[in-house]
Chains A and B, each alone.
Chain A
Amino acid sequence: MEKLLIELKKIVEKDNLYQYNFFLYEWQTDFLRFYKSQSNYNITQKRKKLEFTMVKDKRKFSSSISAPTVEKVYEKIEDAKKVIDFLPKDNDFENFEDNKDIFEYSNLENSIKEISLDKKINILKEVTKVTDKYDFEIYGTFISLYRKGYFLNSSGLEKMYFVSPVMLETKAVSKKNNVSVINSYGGNDLSNFSLEDYIKQLELKISGADLDIIDIEPGKYDVIISPQALAEFLSHYSFGFYGQVLDKGRSFFEGKMDKKVLPDKVSISSTPNAEGMITYPYNGDGHIARDTEFIKNGVFKNFVMDHYYSKKLNMEKNGSVGVAAIKMEKGDTSIEDMIRNTERGLYISNLHYMNFINMKETSVTGLTRDGTFLIENGKIKNVVNNLRFTEKINDIFKNIVGIENKLYTIPSSSNYGDFSISSSRVPHIKSKNFNISSSTHTI
């Protein structure tokens, strides 16, 4: 790696006919997947890759090199030089990211070295002892990741980062009636993980899942949305925050800067440096990750503006990592009070297969999953079959009547080809008039 980095620096410094942007990274994961309270498979995966973009007079060419070596890099650069002169210009391109701020690390461990397979299996065995008691089986993943990357470019960027997050997600499924519940842990390491608390939370959820299963009619309901489900709604809502989406004419927030879009009590931001978040040192261009307010007391304040779109849209760049560290501010009510003050409504634990019908309008359809409950007269009365909703996400937040006074870390793993683990910090919320459009009639 070091030898390669020295060569990349040489290329950037000496070859002034072209501009270069290099992103060199390697990652390794130990990925334990389990089902029916037993291992499905244990995977170790390791990848090393160099992505580079070459520019000459606004003509851009990019290439990826798997398992890069010095020889391969020079070969691909020579290939790129043969191509670049006949490419049409990208008139919106000015130059590469030039933010020089360096992220200051506190202590981060290599989670793969820290968490052995034996340790993972022991944790799962302890969880299984409890779920067996209730006749539930566990399904899920226990992931350790170590990722190291380097940004180098002709605008003077030269940065290194590493992250090593951990994620444990457990679904407990009843052998009796297939009702499932979900619990997860995510962090930079296991230092905030308490096996006792994790098991207690799971046990509490399991104990609520022993109620009779019913179907409900489609219609408008008061809903209490769990942090897990809220993180997913926020992730979809956040698409509209991105400069790229604004540029394509698909952002709900187009023309709404400094305008009131939600009630006063709603504030949404991206806070990669907040307590409890998984570390995200830089955005994809290598700009240091900065906190960004998107909605402050109901007023829309900022887009995620990276280097390219800031130039193209003539807006200030902000180093936001957007959805990778999304946070909703806590409110002033407890989850117990939210349930107690609900005459008739639903508790939604998790979502499945949500997709936009129309992104510009924030309209989506999706399903509930892993425990949907009917609340009547302030008490959880029944498990409900999974439901389909068809709603505008903006309306869900506009109709908020309560926000919990506590935040939870919800980890999320993106592992298609490339690999990352990010997190959200979110409370429970209560919203009224939520549109249930049909029932699946199944759990």
Chain B
Amino acid sequence: MKKIVNDIINRLFLREVQFADVRFTSSDEESFYFERGDLKRYNIDEDKNALGIRVLVNGAWGFAGLNTFNKGSIDKAIKKAINNAKHTAKFKRNPVILDKLDAVNTSFIQKPEKDPFLMSKKNKVDCFSQLAEKINNLDDKIIYNSVNINFSRQYKIYANTEGTFVDTLKYITGPKIQLTSSNGTEVMRRTYPGDMNAYSGGFEVIDNLNFDDNINKIYEEVIKLLDAPRIKEDKADLIIGNNHLALQIHESIGHATEADRLFGKEISYAGKTFVKPEMIGKYKYGSDKVNIVCDTTDRDGIGYHPVDDEGVKNKKVDIIKNGILVGLQTSREAASKLGIKRSASMLANYADNFPLIRMTNINLLPGEAGTLKKLIKNTEKGYYINFTKSWSIDDSRNNFQFTTEIGWKIEDGEITGIVKEPTYYGITKDFWNSCDAICGEEEWEYNGTMMCGKGEPGQGQPLSHKTSPARFRNVDINVD
């Protein structure tokens, strides 16, 4: 394929083409889904190949994506991409201008400790069948249980007319178990490791999550939740655990700081942002404890890459520093329009999709509050909440409301009971400014998703967030 990609790039050195890039992806995906102990779906989607050709002609983008490759289809795709760009230019007010970048030539091949695609299929089926059997028949009150395991790997070639040529191979594993309980009137659920369940790596991800111990834990919790009280107060201090905090960052900082939203490019679907260009360098997004980085250099996160999908070399960029908004996630075009650092954030999930500004590793840096245990000890009254159940945020990423599966009541630094479906809401700036403590490096861990939706046609992009649990003061928790 390297030769084919090179050949296409060579054919795109045309006078009318200002810039062009070509991507090829070959993806393998394997998934297991057990419901009430039965294997309902075992699916393998191998050699899912895709090719994308993007050209800048007359200051406008054109694109063609395909999954059937032969000389004829590639010829047509090249013509189609150029023709699309010419038509884009007919209805264009501001031409796209790209700064020239130095070429990058490198390769990254991830080697997981246990490559799930090299393991015996029988061993995998046996292993997950045992897990499914274990969570089945736990109790009559468990009305539904499931085991969902996804493995994926993607080989990608990226090349452009500036001379960049990079290939990568990356692995992601996403396991989740769910228990649903009912007492006839109410239905509660507990999941493990939660909705943010994607991690960089292979089968070792499953080993490290220690499902055996955690099954018993969530089983006890999902039964107790049926009789647990709901939060009664209007406001409370909240400590948010890592799995849900990843989503809080994702929705209220991650999406809000995607530069394409500032220019209205996502208004028609995903929405806009309350962030304005003039806020960069001044806006007090959070308390001085809050530091957020976009880090595509960290190989432990799903969002690592040597270059993004328009040839920008990986880097670590500050988005929020000591509470002040200092940067954004950008494309080349957006960074140069705004006069800020490029963040290497342009990605497409498969090569036959158009690249967009996407979250990569959007991380909250650890603080000085020590372990989660210590932070709870230092909290007089409040709730520790975790594991997302429901999420919603407005199209400016300003007003959010989240519900978690479970909360733990804190009184005088001790956990004194659980609460069901804790729900809180807030305004992004007020909420992040109420953050007064973040746990330390000992609690700092990645949680991610295989499927963050954005764009039209829609793309589900894998990404991750590294966080330590954090405390927020005086949060609104009454939605009635």
Interface residues of A (CB under 8 A from B): 29, 31, 33-49, 60-67, 76, 79, 83, 86-92, 117-118, 121, 124-125, 137, 139-141, 169, 171, 173, 180, 248-250, 352-358, 360, 365-367, 369, 386, 388, 390, 413-417, 419, 435, 437-443
In the assembled complex, the Cα of A87 lies from the Cα of B398 at a distance in Å of 48
Are A390 and B479 in contact, with the CB atoms below 8 A? Answer: yes
Across the A-B interface, the 9 shortest Cβ-Cβ residue pairs: A42-B84, A440-B399, A416-B458, A415-B457, A39-B88, A249-B143, A64-B45, A117-B87, A67-B68
Smallest Cβ-Cβ distance to B42: which chain A residue: A61
Are B271 and A352 in contact, with the CB atoms below 8 A? Answer: yes
Taking CB atoms and an 8 Å cut-off, the chain B residues in 168-187 that contact chain A are 180, 182, 186-187
Are A39 and B390 in contact, with the CB atoms below 8 A? Answer: no
Q: A121-B91, A355-B391 are in contact. List 20 more A-B contacts (CB 8 A).
A: A39-B88, A39-B90, A42-B84, A44-B81, A46-B66, A62-B42, A63-B43, A64-B43, A67-B49, A87-B125, A88-B39, A118-B87, A249-B180, A352-B394, A360-B187, A415-B456, A415-B457, A416-B458, A440-B396, A441-B427
Smallest Cβ-Cβ distance to A49: which chain B residue: B67
A residues less than 8 Å from B6 (CB atoms)? none
Binary flags per residue of B350-392, CB closer than 8 Å to A gives 1, else 0: 0011100000000000000000000000000000000001111
B-side interface residues, number (CB < 8 Å): 83
CB distance from A116 to the nearest CB of B (A): 9
Are A35 and B45 in contact, with the CB atoms below 8 A? Answer: no
Are B274 and A42 in contact, with the CB atoms below 8 A? Answer: no
Smallest Cβ-Cβ distance to A85: which chain B residue: B122
How many pairs of residues, A versus B, come closer than 8 Å at their CB atoms? Answer: 247
Interface residues of B (CB under 8 A from A): 38-50, 60-69, 77, 80-81, 83-85, 87-94, 121-122, 125, 129, 143-144, 180, 182, 186-187, 263-265, 267-269, 271, 274, 352-354, 389-396, 398-399, 401, 403, 421, 423, 425, 427, 453, 456-460, 476, 479-480
Q: Which of B62, B92, B129, B479 contacts A365 (CB 8 A)?
A: B479
Are B352 and A31 in contact, with the CB atoms below 8 A? Answer: no
Are A46 and B67 in contact, with the CB atoms below 8 A? Answer: yes
Smallest Cβ-Cβ distance to A178: which chain B residue: B272
In the assembled complex, the Cα of A60 lies from the Cα of B32 at a distance in Å of 11
Given A39-B91, A67-B67, A366-B392, answer yes or no on A248-B180 (Cβ-Cβ < 8 Å). Answer: yes
Are B399 and A41 in contact, with the CB atoms below 8 A? Answer: no
B residues less than 8 Å from A44 (CB atoms)? 63-65, 77, 80-81, 84
In the assembled complex, the Cα of A76 lies from the Cα of B42 at a distance in Å of 14
Are B48 and A66 in contact, with the CB atoms below 8 A? Answer: yes
Supply 25 A–B pairs (Cβ within 8 Å), ascending by A.
A31-B456, A31-B457, A33-B268, A41-B354, A44-B77, A45-B66, A60-B42, A64-B44, A64-B48, A67-B67, A83-B42, A83-B121, A86-B125, A87-B39, A90-B38, A117-B83, A118-B90, A173-B264, A249-B187, A367-B399, A388-B399, A416-B457, A416-B460, A438-B401, A441-B398
A residues less than 8 Å from B399 (CB atoms)? 367, 386, 388, 438-442
B residues less than 8 Å from A352 (CB atoms)? 271, 394-395
B residues less than 8 Å from A435 (CB atoms)? 480
Q: Which of B87, B180, B271 contacts A39 (CB 8 A)?
A: B87
